[in-house]
Amino acid sequence: MTLDTPGRLLRVDLSAGAAESVRVPDEWRRKYVGGKGLGARYLYDELTAGTDPLGPGNALLFMLGPLSGYLPGESRYAAVTKSPLTGGFLDSYAGGEFPDALVGALGENVGLLVTGRANAPVRIVVEGGSATVEPARTWGDDTVETAAAFPDAAVACIGPAGEQRVAFASIASDAGDHHAGRGGAGAVMGSKRLKAVVARGDPPEGLDALRESYAEAYRETATGRWLESSGTVESVDFANEVGALSTRGWTDGQFEGADAVGISAVEALAAGREYDDDENPGGFRVETDEGDHVPRGASAMSLGAALGIDEFDAVAALGQTCDRLGMDLISAGSAVAWAIKAADAGHVDRDLAFGDPDGARTLLREIAARETDLGDALAGGVDAAAERYGGAGLVPTVKAMELPAYDPRGAQSMALAYATSDRGACHRRARTVEREAFDEDWSPERAAAAVVREQDQRSVLWCLVVDDFVGDVFDDLGAEWVEAVGLDVDGDLRTVGERVWNLTRLFNVREGVSRADDELPAVLRDPLESGPNAGAAVEQDRFEAMLDAYYRRRGWGADGRPARATVARLGLDEAVDDETPLAEAPLSEP
Q: pLDDT digits over 362-410, tens only?
A: 999 999 999 999 999 999 999 999 999 999 999 999 999 999 878 888 7
Give the per-residue pLDDT at 385: 98
Most confident of the following: 214-218, 263-267, 334-338 = 334-338
Is the pLDDT at 280 greater than 90? The verdict is no
Please give the pLDDT value at position 440.
Answer: 66
Q: Are 407 and 250 in contact (CB under 8 A)?
A: yes
Q: 570 by DSSP, 3-state: which?
A: coil
Q: What is the pLDDT of residue 438?
A: 63
Does residue 1 surpass a pLDDT of 50? Answer: no
Output 436 or 9, whichever has higher pLDDT.
9
pLDDT at position 412 is 83
Strongest mean pLDDT among 296-305, 443-452, 459-468, 551-560:
551-560
pLDDT at 101 over 80: yes
Average pLDDT of the segment spanning 418-431? 90
- Read off φ and ψ for residue 423, nearest 5 degrees: -110, 15
**DSSP summary character for residue 409:** G
Asked if the model's pLDDT at residue 214 lies above 90, the reply is: no
pLDDT band at 534 (very low <50, low <70, confident <90, very high): confident
pLDDT band at 278 (very low <50, low <70, confident <90, very high): low
C-beta of residue 424 within 8 angstroms of C-beta of residue 401: yes
- Per the prediction, the chain carries an average pLDDT of 92
Nearest alpha-carbon partner for 71 in 489, 456, 431, 468: 468
Q: Which residue has the higher pLDDT, 282 or 202?
A: 202
Q: What strand order describes the sheet that includes 130-135?
A: 130-135, 122-127, 194-200, 154-157, 171-173, 178-180
pLDDT exceeds 70 at position 437: no
> What CA–CA distance (Å, rounded) separates 479 from 312?
43
Short-list 331, 306, 521, CA closest to 415: 521
Q: Tell me the backbone φ, ψ of residue 125, rounded to 5 degrees.
A: -110, 120
**Contact between residue 173 and residue 196 where contact means Cβ atoms under 8 Å apart:** no
Q: Give the whole-angstrom CA distance, residue 282 versus residue 471.
A: 15
Mean pLDDT, residues 241-264 taken together: 90
Top mean-pLDDT range of 487-491, 539-543, 559-563: 559-563
Q: Is the pLDDT of residue 435 over 80?
A: no
What mean pLDDT do residues 230-252 have?
86
| pLDDT on residue 4 | 67
Distance from chain centroid for Cα 475: 23
DSSP state of 516: G
The model's confidence at residue 2, banded by pLDDT at 50, 70 and 90, is very low
Greatest mean pLDDT range, 144-148, 219-223, 437-441, 467-471: 144-148
pLDDT tens-digit map of 492-524: 999 999 999 999 999 999 999 999 999 988 888
Per-residue pLDDT, 295: 75
The secondary structure of 64-117, three-state, reads CCCCCCCCCCCCEEEEEEECCCCCCEEEEEEECHHHHHHHHHHCCEEEEEEECC
Q: Residue 198 pLDDT > 90, yes or no? A: yes
Measure the CA–CA gap between 99 and 194, rounded to whole angstroms: 18
pLDDT at 194: 98
Distances in whole angstroms, Cα of residue 482 to Cα of each of 73, 207, 415, 466, 518? 17, 12, 34, 12, 34
85 vs 194: CA distance, rounded Å: 19
- At residue 471, the pLDDT reads 79
Q: Contact 586/555 with Cβ under 8 angstroms?
A: yes
Domains of the chain: 8-200 (3.60.9.10), 221-383 (1.10.569.10), 408-569 (1.10.599.10)
Cα distances from 135 to residues 123, 161, 196, 291, in angstroms, run 6, 20, 10, 29
440 Cβ neighbours under 8 A, 6+ residues apart: none
Q: How many residues appear in the chain?
A: 590
The confidence score (pLDDT) of residue 369 equals 98
Specify whether the CB–CB gap between 301 and 236 falls below 8 A.
yes
3 pLDDT exceeds 60? no
pLDDT band at 97 (very low <50, low <70, confident <90, very high): very high
pLDDT above 90 for 187: yes
Task: Name the pTM for this structure.
Answer: 0.95
pLDDT band at 573 (very low <50, low <70, confident <90, very high): very high
Q: At residue 42, what are phi and psi to the nearest 5 degrees?
A: -65, -40
Residue 486 has pLDDT above 70, yes or no: yes
